Amino acid sequence: MTMLVPRRPQVPDWPAYLARHAERARDPRLARFFAAGTPAPDTPISETPMVALDMETTGLDARHHAIVSIGVVPFTLGRIALSERRYWIVRPQRTLHAESVTFHHITHTDIERAPEFGDILDDLLETLAGRLVVVHYRHIERLFLDDSVKARLGEGLMFPVIDTMAVEARFHRQSWLARFKRWVGRPPASIRLYDSRVRYGLPLYQGHHALTDALATAELLQAQIANHYQPEMPIGQLWT
């Protein structure tokens, strides 16, 4: 439907990738997750079970920083079901910096009482299994998960995601109009989660809570599809 011809990064053949890893994985939990697979790339977005994922971390570098909290909200294009939401605070093995603690509104006491990442992995994988994960800025969520899993199990966790920031970039960074505006010296539109939401008339939420942000991301995807695509859009054209 769109007139834009987005230049897409190389996207792996996700169903094949997951199937391969389902056989290869040593950890039974990971094997189960991979075996649940993903909907076929030609599945319309309107028929795809999805799950919005957001996490708060102590920093931006997966090698040095740790996950503090994870929020997930299963949803479809038509509905976001809050009753199925999950939220975990996890105790990082790396120390917590004072500044990021205030940033996350999570106190040291919360953290001390919290389970470790390994203890919630089961629940997390179960919520994600079989659903297409939706994040805003995949380089945080996917890399941190991969890294945390690797650190514990010695093998990684990769899966397809729809990145709402990348979708936003297609229209506000990579479109001809956006390039033209940049060429004439206009500052590029912000594609951060909360700035993007404003463009679709979505309400302001208090940021930096993993569950609120996951909800915010799910709503943003609904808005993006409603405004730029048809419900029949195949997910293979959206995932990376």
Partner 1 sequence: MDVELLEIRQHMGRFPPFETLSDALLDEVVDRVEVAYFKAGEEILALDQELHELCYIRSGAVEVFRRGGELHNRLGEGDIFGQLSLLRHHRTRYPARAMEDTLLYFIPEEVFQRLCEADDEFADFVELQRPRLESAVEQQKKNNDMIITRVRKLLTRYPVMVEASTTVQEAARQIGDFQASAVLVLDEPGDNPRYTFRDSEDRAWQVRGILTDSDFRTRVVAEGRPPDTPVGDVVVNKMIAVQSDESVHEAMLCMLRNNIHHLPVMHRRRPVGIVHLSDIIRYETQSSLYLVSNIFHQPNMEGLARLAPDVSGAFVRMVEEGADSRMVGSALSTIGRSFTRRLLELAEETLGPPPVPYCFMALGSMARNEQSIVTDQDNALVLSDDFDPEQHDDYFREMARIVSDGLDACGYPYCKGDIMATNGQWRQPLATWKRYFSEWIEDPNPERLLHSSIFFDLDSVHGENVMVEQLQDLVAEKAAQSPLFLAAMARNALNRTPPLGFFRTFVMEKDGKHNNSINLKRRGTAPLVDLIRIHALACGSRSQNSFERLDDIDRTALLAPGVSDRLRYSLELMSMSRIRHQVIDLEHEQPPDNNIEPENVSSQERHNLKEAFQALSHAQKFLKFRYPMPSSRSR
- Phi, psi (degrees; rounded to nearest 5) at 239: -85, 160
Say whether residue 218 binds partner 1 (CB under 8 A). Answer: yes
Helices 28-36 and 117-128, axial angle in degrees (round to 10): 20
Q: Binding segment for partner 1 among 41-49, 139-147, 150-158, 223-231 (CB under 8 A)?
A: 223-231
Using CB under 8 A, which of the segments 28-36, 116-124, 172-180, 200-208 binds partner 1? Answer: 200-208
Q: Which of 37, 146, 202, 240 binds partner 1 (CB under 8 A)?
A: 202
Nearer to partner 1, 60 or 226 (CB): 226
Half-sphere exposure of 216 (CA within 13 A, CB side): 25
212 interacts with partner 1 by CB under 8 A: yes
Segment contacting partner 1 (CB under 8 A): 4-12, 15-23, 79-87, 119-127? 79-87
Q: CA 11, CA 236: separation in Å to the nearest integer?
A: 9
CB of 218 to partner 1, least distance (A): 7
> Could you tell me which of 108, 65, 63, 75 has the C-alpha nearest to residue 89?
108
Spatial contact of 135 and 142, defined as CB atoms under 8 Å apart: yes
Distance CA 91, CA 104 (A): 14
**Binding of residue 131 to partner 1 (CB under 8 A):** no
CA dist., res. 236 & res. 67, Å (int) = 29
Tell me the C-alpha distance between 226 and 240, whole Å: 20
User: By rule CB under 8 A, what string of x and - marks binding of each residue 32-71 to partner 1?
Assistant: ---------------------------------------x
Taking the least distance from each CB to partner 1, the nearer of 140 and 218 is 218
Which H helix or E strand runs over 150?
helix 138-153
CB of 213 to partner 1, least distance (A): 10
Binding site for partner 1 (CB under 8 A): 71, 75, 78-83, 85, 87, 200-203, 205-206, 209-212, 215, 218-219, 222-223, 226-227
